[in-house]
Chains A and B, each alone.
Chain A
Amino acid sequence: MKVTIDQDKCVASGQCVVAAADVFDQRDEDGIVVLLNAAPPAELAEDVRHAAAVCPALAIEIEE
């Protein structure tokens, strides 16, 4: 799995962090998404898919 994020689209809802805290974080100044792991292991795949699904700004793309 390969993950990419779009910080310009991000609206800092933080839902990706709730879904997969090992893969996504928020930068301190404005809460915009930071990618911690662009190639998450299989055991996190479901959480990452959920993060992408609930992102209100469609700022997370996944390549399986």
Chain B
Amino acid sequence: MTSTVESAGTGTLEIPNFPMARASGCPFDPPPELRARQQEGPLTRVRLWDGSTPWLVTRYAEQRALLADPRISADITRPGYPSPAPITGNSIGFILMDDPEHARLRRMVTAPFMIKRVEALRPAVQKIVDDLIDAMLAGPTPVDLVEAFALPVPSLVICELLGVPYSDHDFFQANSKILIKRDAEPEQRAEALGRLTDYLDNLMSEKLAQPKGDLLSGLAERIKAGELTRPEAARMGVLLLIAGHETTANMIALGTLALLQNPDQLALLRDGDDAKLVAGAVEELLRYLNITHNGRRRVALADIEVGDQVIRAGEGLILANDIGNRDPEIFAEPDRLDLTRDARRHVAFGFGVHQCLGQPLARMELQVVYSTLYRRIPTLRLATELERIPFKHDASVYGVYELPVTW
């Protein structure tokens, strides 16, 4: 749907609604309207649910430059911030704050995600992956790969890392599903966030009384030292728990579907045993699928020139990394899945100071999964037609709700 407005000096412009719809039959490609806007220029206006018309940034170079620019803010409480939904007063922590507060909080949880600490977890992740595959192979077919594998892998890993009991996974998975639903009512979303925050706050009581070696116990120590408040700690816990399982789970299931649709690419992973190829494949799948399809949301703190246009102080920006990762200026034949290309410059984790904190963990988990699943189940195939797969068009993190497979 589009609407028409008068724009000073430039005549009549069509302002499309955002988010936009993907083309039917092209479940892995960004909406065609995004591609059309990218071809026209780096900046365009879009209309949001509340009638506001922030800038949409569609090209890779401008996205990177703006995301690294200190003149833009991620603070959701600032006027002009292009919120994807009504703001309910609850916040999900430092991803929606600016420095120095953002840096202070983020640096409290960066240590467990450093490369050497994540690498030390690799054998444990390999065992989780192998055990889940053993269980699938021992059971009946067809299997829903989301429920049997894609969701349990990152959920088990993040529970272990945070010190959250995995037995509570039905509870936190159900609530995080509500949080990322694009059309959830504000009250529903606030209630789900409230339940998760209470849950993490209760866990924090346990960690304060009996600290262990996990991340939440580390936060409990910060509370004792007076460096962190309890509500801040609970919010951080919620953020890490949700981000730690939703995103990776969707990459596993959607990535597997994309590979099943590109059998020559799947064969590279199934028949090869090269860590470098696997690492490159993960980067390419991150680029190609870019599951965070709501765009990065920011608001300008000063007038910023982009090409021959000016983003005014107080105007909102949406940086659509999904189409940025398909920018032909940067990636040749961007709509082709090519596991052998060098895709490491992708912006699937965003860019700038807010770039994904958990990316080393996500990369390692995906490397283990993609290098194991198709080798252990070489005849893996869809147990239904592509047209019957329910895609997460209505979620802020894209993926599939179910993926029936057999072998």
A residues in contact (CB < 8 Å) with B = 11-15, 17-19, 21, 26, 28-32, 50, 53-54, 56-58
Contact = CB atoms under 8 A, between A and B. Distances in A.
Contacts of B363: 18
Contacts of B355: 11, 13, 56-57
Contact of A57 (B114, B118, B353, B357): B353
Interface of B: 67-68, 103, 106-108, 110-111, 113-116, 118, 344-345, 349-353, 355-357, 359-360, 363
A12 B107 contact: yes
Contacts of A11: 103, 106, 110, 353, 355
Contact of B68 (A13, A15, A57): A57
A29 to B, nearest CB: 6
A12 B113 CA distance: 8
Contacts of B350: 56
A19 B110 CA distance: 19
B111 A31 contact: yes
A30 B110 contact: yes
B67, B108, B116: residue with the most chain A Cβ atoms closer than 10 Å: B116
Contacts, number: 64
Nearest to A24: B115
B277 to A, nearest CB: 15
Nearest 3 interchain pairs by C-beta: A31-B114, A56-B355, A12-B110
Given A11-B106, A13-B359, A28 B111 contact: yes
B68 A56 contact: yes
B113 A31 contact: yes
18 contacts: A11-B106, A12-B114, A12-B357, A13-B360, A14-B114, A14-B115, A14-B118, A14-B359, A17-B115, A18-B360, A21-B115, A26-B114, A30-B107, A50-B344, A56-B67, A56-B68, A56-B350, A57-B352
Contacts of B357: 12-13
Contacts of B67: 56
Nearest to B359: A13
A29 B221 CA distance: 14
Contact of B345 (A17, A18, A54, A57): A54
A21 B119 CA distance: 13
Contact of B115 (A26, A32, A54): A26
A18 B115 CA distance: 8
Contact of A56 (B106, B114, B352): B352
A60 to B, nearest CB: 13
B400 to A, nearest CB: 28
Nearest to B113: A31
A13, A32, A54: residue with the most chain B Cβ atoms closer than 10 Å: A13
A59 to B, nearest CB: 10
Nearest to A14: B115
